[in-house]
Amino acid sequence: MRVISIDDEEIILEDFVEMLSEMPEITDVRGFSDCEEALAYIGENDIDVAFCDISMRGMDGITFAKKAKGIKPNLNIVFVTAYTEYSLEAIKMHASGYLVKPVAEDDVRRELADLRTPVVTSSGKRLRVQCFGNFEVYIDDKPCQFKYIKTKELLAYLIDRKGAYCSNGELLGALWEDKEVTPSLENYLRNLISDLKNILRQNDLENVVIKKKAQMCVVTNEIDCDYYKWLDGGTGTENLFAGEYMSQYSWAETTLAGLEGW
C-alpha cells in the first residue's frame, strides 16, 4: 500500500510518517508540508491513500482533497485534524476516513482496513491498468507516457474487449465513432498501433499484446487490471466498482451500463 501524508506542522508530520512507515501493510510512505508538491507527486505516482490535515496555511485540506480527487478519482482521502467540526465537510467529500489528533496507531489501522476504495494486493505484473474512474496505465508503478494521446484509448478499448481479437475496422469505428474512414485515418491507426508496440517493446512487455494481420488483442493474464479482478470476484474486490468506468471514453458507456446491472 502506497501512502502520503500532508501536514504543515513539520514535527507532527515527521512523527506521523514515522508511525506509518512502521506498519507492514504500507510499502511506501512520503510526507509533504506543501500541498502543491503533494499534488504534483500524486500526478506522477501511484498512490492508494492520502492522510491530509484540514486546517493548514495556504491551501486547506478540503481544497487539497478536491484537487487530489480530480487527479486520482479513486484516491482514498483520510482527513487528520485536531478539530471535530470539519466532519460534515469530510462526509460531503466522500472521504474514506476521519481521524482526530492525536492519532493512535490502532486508529490508523482501523481506517486502512475499511477504505472507501479497497487496495488490492499487487499481482506482481508489471503492467497495471485502472479502469474504474478514469482509465490510467502504469508500468512498474509509474504512469505510462504515450507518444499519441489516442494510443492510450486504443489500449483502453483492447482492455475493454477482455482478450477478444479486434479488427482494424472495429478499432476505427470505436475510436472515431461516426467519422468517415479515410486512408489518412487508417494510417493514423497504424501509427497508434506502432506506438503501443514500441512502448511495450521498450519495457520488455511485448507479450501483453498479440498482433496478427489486421487484428489484435491483449493477453489478459499479463495485465494487473481492477476491472478483471472485479469480474473474477476475488477477495477484497467487491467494492472496487463505484459507478464509474473509463469515464473519459464515450464508447465505454455500453460496458458501464452492463456493470451497473450486474
- Domains of the chain plus CATH, in order, are 2-112 (3.40.50.2300), 127-250 (1.10.10.10)
From its phi and psi, is residue 45 left (phi > 0), alpha (psi between -120 and 50) or beta? beta
Query: Which H or E run contains 99?
Result: strand 97-100
Alpha-carbon gap, residue 5 to 17, rounded angstroms:
7
Q: Within the chain, where are the H helices?
A: 10-21, 35-44, 61-71, 87-92, 105-112, 149-160, 168-176, 183-202, 226-232, 253-260
- In tens digits, the chain (262 residues) has pLDDT values of 899 999 999 999 999 999 998 887 888 899 999 999 999 999 888 889 999 998 888 888 889 999 998 888 889 999 988 876 666 666 666 688 888 888 999 999 888 888 887 776 555 688 999 999 999 999 988 889 999 999 999 999 999 999 999 999 999 999 999 899 999 999 999 999 999 999 999 999 999 999 988 899 999 999 999 999 999 886 667 778 989 999 999 999 999 999 987 7
Pairing of strands 166-167, 76-81: unpaired
Tally of CB atoms within 10 A around 18:
11
Half-sphere exposure of 175 (CA within 13 A, CB side): 25
* Local structure of residue 95 (DSSP, 8 states): -
Residue at grid coordinates 510512505: 29
Alpha-carbon gap, residue 79 to 99, rounded angstroms:
6
